[in-house]
Structure 1
Amino acid sequence: MAESFGVDAERYDRTRPHYPDAMVTRVVAGSPGPDVLDVGCGTGIEARQFQAAGCRVLGVDPDERMADFARNGGLEVEVARFEDWDPAGRDFDTVIAGQAWHWVDPVAGATKAAQVLRPGGRMAVFWNTFQPPPELGEAIAAVYRRVMPDAPIYQRALADSDAYASLRAKAADGIRTAGAFGEVEQWRLDWERPYTRDEWLDLLPTTGVHTRLPAATLQEVLTGVGAAVDALGGAFRMRYATVMVTAVRTTAASS
């Protein structure tokens, strides 16, 4: 699934939410310099935000289609799985991963991040989690129970950041196991964004298992979700939380 998101890189970049500027500012302020490595950079959504904050960013992504899109937007990208990527002696002040670290082995990834971080460098991995209004969440869950009864993750209304709690725990455990970082911190920023029916239906095919659904099944999902949004007036406000696991490199990691 990790390499399925490049099927429509333009739609992914256009519809996926960005990250709070306050989060970017906090990460940059807590790092010793401007050199950033973006793991699983995708189309460059968070990389462009860090560039706008004055950083020099190198992206690494396993999907050539996503990398090409990011390059067209002015980002330098190397195609590789992070675990296999060759840093060629380069080091960085910050290693970030937006909506991507769950595709990386948490221990091997944290160990490699420590190897390429300068002393005092920061590792920061983060996700956008979302929660629709309760009545919409229940209506959408009913659509998935009907159309995709064998997909248990969609059988109940989304419950805030709980969907990423286990991923955050694995990331934190991996950082601790790497043995090269100080205290692991978890940061959270809450925010909201309005969506029209068409805006949400445009985004939905870029998420999770939707990228690999048969066309007829995806259309059935979109029709049902669209009807649920229409029943609430054709628009809604999505509650987002950007959740982060972060730590500072205190000792060198072994090769």
Structure 2
Amino acid sequence: MPTLPSAQADSSENEPHQHRQAAESFGSDAERYDRARPRYPAAMVDRIVAGSPGSDVLGVGCGTGIDARQFQAAGCRVLGVEPDARMADLARRSGVEVDVATFEAWDPAGRACDAVVAGQSWHWIDPVAGAAKAAQVLRPGGRLAAFWNVFQLPPDVAEAFTAVHQRVMPDSPSNLQAMKKQALDGYQVLFTRAADGIREAGGFSEPEQWRFDWEWSYTRDAWLDQMPTLGNLTQLPSDKLAEVLAGVGAAVDAMGGSFTMRYTTVAVTAARTGAA
């Protein structure tokens, strides 16, 4: 789940892609990130593949290769672009070819693709420069698809988790607090920025939103394994993180040791128009 700047104003300095320290914090425990982060709905992967003219996929901000491996399993050839060498190394070890670079500065060296995808990463990229680079490398009819997993805790679970976080870090803004609200509402700013960037860059059809709803059951240990990979916790001091995990673990134990999470995966997507 991305960590947005505390003041979500429209000024450029408050846009997520300006916060490189946060963007590059996930590689501090790449193995945990790869193991614990949720995958993406197969129906979404299949729809992106079906809506693309071929099977050459460029994965932007591919991280450890979670979505890249899903596209490989769907029969695609995938090249990843990832600024964090630690994440890229793990992706390579899992069979994904990766160039280490920010997408805006990446040199395609004449390469072209049929789909540009970005799983949980497009908010770290300048939305206009990123869309322009995607237009540069996409073949006519090729598809740009930026997508996010948005989770919504059951209200009682959100209440318990938020109480823990507020006790340990009372002065810190937190995505956990937002969990008590409609999570999709908070993400709309990301979806809007992505769509506006595509429109401003030009060369694409009108952006669409594709939505996929699903659920996942977490045991106590599985959720505690994922928590340190969440954007608002990756830079937390180890003692504070341990305190948060202990409190959340106790809350899950009190609920019977597991809970079911509702997920919505939203893709902001458009097709490349015009000549290559």
What TM-score do the two structures reach when normalised by structure 1?
0.96
Alpha-carbon distance between aligned partners in 1 of 2:275 and 2:241, rounded to the nearest angstrom: 47
Give the match for residue 11 of structure 1: 32
Alpha-carbon distance between aligned partners in 1 of 2:113 and 2:177, rounded to the nearest angstrom: 42
Give the match for residue 219 of structure 1: 242
**Ranges in structure 2 where 5+ consecutive residues have no aligned partner:** 1-21
Alpha-carbon distance between aligned partners in 2 of 1:194 and 1:176, rounded to the nearest angstrom: 38
User: Among residues 100, 111, 126, which one is paired with 1:105 in the alignment?
Assistant: 126
Alpha-carbon distance between aligned partners in 2 of 1:75 and 1:224, rounded to the nearest angstrom: 37
RMSD value over aligned CA atoms? 1.2
Amino acid at match of 1:100: S
What count of residue pairs does the alignment treat as equivalent?
253
Alignment of 1:29-108 (within 5 A): 29-108=50-129
**C-alpha displacement of 1:152:** 2.3
Alignment of 1:151-170 (within 5 A): 151-153=172-174, 154-156=176-178, 157-170=180-193
Residue 215 (structure 2) pairs with residue 192 (structure 1) = yes
Amino acid at match of 1:123: L
**C-alpha displacement of 1:155:** 2.8
Q: Deviations over 1:70-115 (max 9, x none)?
A: 0001110000000000000111100000000000000000011001
Amino acid at match of 2:133: K
Amino acid at match of 2:223: W
**C-alpha displacement of 1:252:** 5.2
**C-alpha displacement of 1:141:** 1.2
**C-alpha displacement of 1:221:** 0.8
Query: Which runs of structure 1 show a deviation greater than 6 angstroms over 4 or more consecutive aligned residues?
Result: none
Q: Secondary structure at the match of 1:84?
A: coil
Residue 30 (structure 2) pairs with residue 21 (structure 1) = no
State whether residues 180 and 252 of structure 1, in contact with CA within 8 Å, keep that contact through their aligned partners in structure 2: no
Alpha-carbon distance between aligned partners in 2 of 1:164 and 1:91, rounded to the nearest angstrom: 30
State whether residues 42 and 70 of structure 1, in contact with CA within 8 Å, keep that contact through their aligned partners in structure 2: yes
Q: Secondary structure at the match of 2:274?
A: coil
Alpha-carbon distance between aligned partners in 2 of 1:9 and 1:59, rounded to the nearest angstrom: 16
**Ranges in structure 1 where 5+ consecutive residues have no aligned partner:** none
**C-alpha displacement of 1:163:** 2.8
Alpha-carbon distance between aligned partners in 2 of 1:152 and 1:203, rounded to the nearest angstrom: 19
Residue 135 (structure 2) pairs with residue 114 (structure 1) = yes
**C-alpha displacement of 1:132:** 1.2
Identity, in percent, stands at 69
Deviates more, 1:215-224 or 1:154-163: 154-163
Q: Secondary structure at the match of 2:273?
A: coil
Deviates more, 1:135-144 or 1:156-165: 156-165
Q: Secondary structure at the match of 1:11?
A: helix
Residue 203 (structure 2) pairs with residue 180 (structure 1) = yes
Alpha-carbon distance between aligned partners in 2 of 1:31 and 1:238, rounded to the nearest angstrom: 31
Q: 1:181/1:224 Cα in 2 relative to 1: closer, same or farther (>3 Å)?
A: same
Amino acid at match of 1:26: R
State whether residues 115 and 252 of structure 1, in contact with CA within 8 Å, keep that contact through their aligned partners in structure 2: no
Alpha-carbon distance between aligned partners in 2 of 1:239 and 1:160, rounded to the nearest angstrom: 11
Amino acid at match of 1:235: S
Q: Secondary structure at the match of 1:165?
A: helix
**C-alpha displacement of 1:162:** 2.2
**C-alpha displacement of 1:142:** 1.3
Amino acid at match of 1:216: D
Amino acid at match of 1:191: W
Alpha-carbon distance between aligned partners in 2 of 1:89 and 1:228, rounded to the nearest angstrom: 53
What TM-score do the two structures reach when normalised by structure 2?
0.89
Q: Secondary structure at the match of 1:187?
A: strand
Give the match for residue 251 of structure 1: 274
**C-alpha displacement of 1:229:** 1.1
